[in-house]
Amino acid sequence: MAGTALPLPFVDARTSSPSPAGQVPVVLIHGWASGSVYWEPLAKLLLDAGREVWILDLPGYHRGQDLPADFTWTLESAAASVGAAIRARTDGPVHLVGHSMGGSVSLTLAAKHPELVATLALVGMVPAPQNEAFKNLLVSQLEQGFFDAATKLKLMNAWYGELSAEDMELLSKGFDTPFRILSASAWAAMTGVEPSVPSRVQAPLLVIAGTGDRVRSIEQMAAFVAASPTRTLKAIPDAGHTVHWEQPEECARTLCEFWKTSWPPPA
């Protein structure tokens, strides 16, 4: 089943009241070892701004979902599943917002099915090599066959910085995802998108980057954006890899302005 779509058991579609006619839905796609919960602050702000918001869980990430044994977790198969979920709910395009690995899934979908994508926002992600120390740490855990508590803590601190005990418990639940899903999706994320994918994306593209991101540098983000006139960079101070959780107000303002100026496309 490599590259084939799998029905997603969790798509949380939220509509503001009242919702403007002809609203283009916003689809939030989480990263590796994460889930829908860390979108909550941003989703609330977008709803308050009158946006329709869909939050989904990628294949195997929703608690209790049992993937078929022959399903191969790749960026392509994840993108196909997201595409099928979008088509099941709308005839028009959507605003894709993908964080980290979710950005790679979003890029893959936008390149293959441009008719589904009005705009694309990458949060804490561009198709560039990850921090080598982070990658080596991840590989060591994949090779040993489980994620130990010390490594989980290191990863959470790298992604989020200082967290309260309550937020740490809430946000680390992504590691409860079955190891075979965490492993396969981690390898997909580290391999990254096929080289031709970025140049095939037709939609206006925004990169939102925390200046303190420890997974990919702000210099990598800027270099990717500079390669095309259809790409825009918003660097947000006092934020790291999960900029949407750390600075949701600034992310919401940035996204709403991007959508306002990018869609509908200029005549």
Q: What pLDDT, on the 0 to 100 scale, is given for residue 1?
A: 46
pLDDT in tens, 192-213: 999 999 999 999 999 999 999 9
Distance (Å, rounded) from C-alpha 212 to C-alpha 10? 32
Residue 37: which domain range? 11-261
Across the range 172-182, mean pLDDT stands at 94
**230, part of any domain:** yes
Whether residue 16 has pLDDT greater than 50:
yes
> What phi and psi values does residue 22 have, to the nearest 5 degrees?
70, 20
Alpha-carbon 148 to chain mean position: 24
Angle at 56 between CA 163 and CA 182, to 5 degrees: 65
Count of domains forming the chain: 1
**2, part of any domain:** no
**6, part of any domain:** no
Whether residue 147 has pLDDT greater than 70:
yes
Count H helices and E strands in the chain, helices first. Answer: 11, 7
**106, part of any domain:** yes
Q: What pLDDT, on the 0 to 100 scale, is given for residue 18?
A: 60
User: Residue 227 belongs to a domain with what CATH number?
Assistant: 3.40.50.1820
- Residue 103 carries which side chain, given as an amino acid letter? G
Across the range 148-168, mean pLDDT stands at 93
From 143, 140, 121, select the one nearest 221 (Cα to Cα). Answer: 121
Q: Rg (Cα) of the chain, in Å, rounded?
A: 17
Q: What pLDDT, on the 0 to 100 scale, is given for residue 27?
A: 98
pLDDT in tens, 31-89: 999 989 999 999 999 999 999 999 999 999 998 887 888 889 999 999 999 999 999 99
| Residue 2 burial (10 A CB sphere; 0-12, 13-18, 19+) | exposed
**252, part of any domain:** yes
- What stretch of H or E contains 236? strand 231-236
Across the range 94-120, mean pLDDT stands at 97
Angle at 43 between CA 8 and CA 88, to 5 degrees: 30
DSSP string covering 238-259, please? S--TTHHHHSHHHHHHHHHHHH
Mean pLDDT across the chain: 92
**181, part of any domain:** yes
pLDDT in tens, 2-14: 557 777 878 898 8
Q: What pLDDT, on the 0 to 100 scale, is given for residue 66?
A: 78
What is the number of residues in the chain? 267
**248, part of any domain:** yes
Across the range 176-189, mean pLDDT stands at 94
Q: How far is the first Cα of the chain from the last one, in angstroms, to the nearest whole number? A: 41
Distance (Å, rounded) from C-alpha 106 to C-alpha 95? 10
**174, part of any domain:** yes
DSSP string covering 127-155, please? SSPPPHHHHHHHHHHHHHTS--HHHHHHH
Is-contact 204 230, C-beta < 8 A? yes
- Residue 246 carries which side chain, given as an amino acid letter? E
